[in-house]
Amino acid sequence: MGTGRLSWCIFLLALCLVGPSARAVPTHFVGVNAHQPQTDVLDGIKDLGVSWIRIDVNWLQVQPTLGQAPDFTALDTIVSQAAARGLSVFPTLAYGPAWASEPDTDGIPTNNVPKIGEYQKFCQAFAAHFQGQLTHIGLWNEPNLDGFFEGTRQQWIDRIVVEGINGIKAGCPACKVLGPELASIGSEYEQWLDDSLTQLEQKGLMYDVITWHIYSGFLETKPGWLCWDGDLFLHDLDQHRVCFGFNGPLSVREVLLKHNLQNLPVWISETGAMAPVGDAAATARQVTYYRRVLEEQLKRAWWTHTFFYEIVDDNTIADKWGLAVRSGASPTYPASYQKKPVWGFLHDVLAQQPALGGSGADCNDGLDNDGDKLIDYPADPQCGSASDPTETPGTTVPDAGPLDTGPPDTSRDSVTGPDEPPSDAPALPRETSTVDGPRAAGDSAAATADDGCSCSPGGRPAAVGPTALMLLAAIAVLLARRRPGRRTPGC
């Protein structure tokens, strides 16, 4: 190795050891549900520090008239503005116009079953238009809830899942298809997932990423949970509920294992907790809920992305799920924003936790990484300093993580949810926008110098003081004086 290359290796080693001054290469990702974000919302999302947004693509808005080509102008603006802020986006394509749908049977005009072939055409047109800009595209939204899809399970598989995959792949062969976007509400979501996987396997098709919505709680957010009170977050995720001989529906992970699809990445594309501004107890619970979600995500390699619902409160409904309240006729960021405590919490976690791309360490990331109910230095005695890379060395969680006995979030244990259209529809459903983004599960890899000297993204070395840096400099000088041609170890 030549002197110049050797010196570069020593420089990179020093950067690795200094640690917290540089952001790490993330292995897990966090996003927010943004619907159809305006410029100020995108400014806020960028400042928050998340890397992804999920947006709504309302087919009935994009192609309202028979015979007219889809108009993607508004979506083009969202995609380009998100990209300019370094945000990856994935769109959820749903809600057909009347001309492309079967007759309405329940009085809700936004949840009708697409006519045979029409959803496939729309998906293909969308994917082809955004090919090269978007990489991940989602199929419908919570089709197992009547408010979002009035058809049967088989109609969903035939006219949404199969047609959607075929359409997206025809328009953009490299694009990833995200589904089934089911809500873990009621008792049939297990069967919806199971049936769709079975029929896709028979047809030689499959989702590229499994997307799932979970709003069930944790013990920390609602103490006193009893097994008959309903599912908890981890019951829906990877270990179904058993209560006095009663078995709840299989979790999403268990269904995937049943089909030998354990290598499919899972994205929790909706989760969150309501917290009206001014309700101190609710805003504190919201912070705890976000913390518990992130702690569990970081334990599971297959759960790669989480999208919190939602970036700002919907001021037209009573339920307040946002990280902030946005107000004013012409809002700007940050002047028009009243941030809830969870905003600052999430911002700090993203800035510090290396697995999320932060520049800190486990001992200053705001999370209980080792599950001992003690967080960071100096509260956690496992941390010798704030720069210690782990709270407990060697902590790993197998495919089905430990059962958390937190209580269910009863606000989601019904047919209605935060996305449900108001009862006085024809208002548009809550999922209304488009876009998908450049980075996705498994797509990011640690950048390495072509001479083999690089910092491993998995390593989280502690900070090094001036004495150690001087020692490194001295080693660099001594090694640089060695004769050319001698092999030196990699960083």
Assess contact for 25 and 447: CB atoms under 8 A: yes
The answer to whether the beta carbons of residues 389 and 460 sit under 8 Å apart is yes
CA distances from 382 to 190, 360, 371, 387 (A): 40, 16, 12, 12
Q: Domains in the chain, please, with CATH?
A: 1-19+466-484 (no CATH), 26-359+399-412 (3.20.20.80), 362-396 (no CATH)
Q: What are the CB-based long-range contacts (under 8 Å, 24+) for 258-261?
A: 258/194, 259/194, 259/197, 259/198, 259/201, 261/197, 261/206, 261/210
* Cβ contact 358:368 at 8 Å: no
Distance CA 349, CA 353 (A): 6
Answer yes or no: are the C-beta atoms of 299 and 397 closer than 8 Å.
yes
With beta carbons less than 8 A apart as the criterion, state whether 210 and 265 touch. Answer: yes
Q: Tokens 């097994």 label which residue?
A: 227
Q: Write down the pLDDT at residue 187.
A: 83
Which pLDDT score, from 0 to 100, does residue 138 have?
98
* Local structure of residue 412 (DSSP, 8 states): G
pLDDT of residue 483: 32
pLDDT at 14: 43
- The pTM (predicted TM-score) of the whole model is 0.80
Q: What phi and psi values does residue 319 have, to the nearest 5 degrees?
A: -70, 130
Residue 93 burial class via C-beta count within 10 angstroms: exposed 0-12, middle 13-18, buried 19 and up:
buried
With 0-12 / 13-18 / 19 or more C-beta atoms within 10 angstroms meaning exposed / middle / buried, residue 296 is buried
Count of positions (residues) in the chain: 491
Predicted pLDDT at 12 = 42
Sign of CA dihedral 277, 283, 287, 293: negative
What gap in Å lies between CA 362 and CA 13, rounded to an integer?
Answer: 21
Closest by Cα among 58, 162, 148, 90 to 120: 162
In the 8-state DSSP scheme, what is residue 161? I
pLDDT tens digit at each of 491 positions of the chain: 454 444 444 444 444 444 445 788 999 999 999 999 999 999 999 999 999 999 999 999 999 999 999 999 999 999 999 999 999 999 999 999 999 999 999 999 999 999 999 999 999 999 999 999 999 999 999 999 999 999 999 999 999 999 999 999 999 999 999 999 999 998 899 999 999 999 999 999 999 999 999 999 999 998 999 999 999 999 999 999 999 999 999 999 999 999 999 999 999 999 999 999 999 999 999 999 999 999 999 999 999 999 999 999 999 999 999 999 999 999 999 999 999 999 999 999 999 999 999 999 999 999 999 999 999 999 999 999 999 999 986 544 444 443 433 333 433 333 334 444 333 334 455 443 333 333 333 333 333 333 333 333 333 333 444 444 444 444 433 333 333 332 222 32
Are 192 and 184 a contacting pair, CB within 8 Å? no
User: What pLDDT, on the 0 to 100 scale, is given for residue 21?
Assistant: 52
Handedness of CA 104, 411, 153, 188 (dihedral sign): negative
Sequence-ordered alpha helix ranges (H) in 213-259: 233-237, 252-258
In the chain, the N- to C-terminal Cα span, in Å, equals: 13
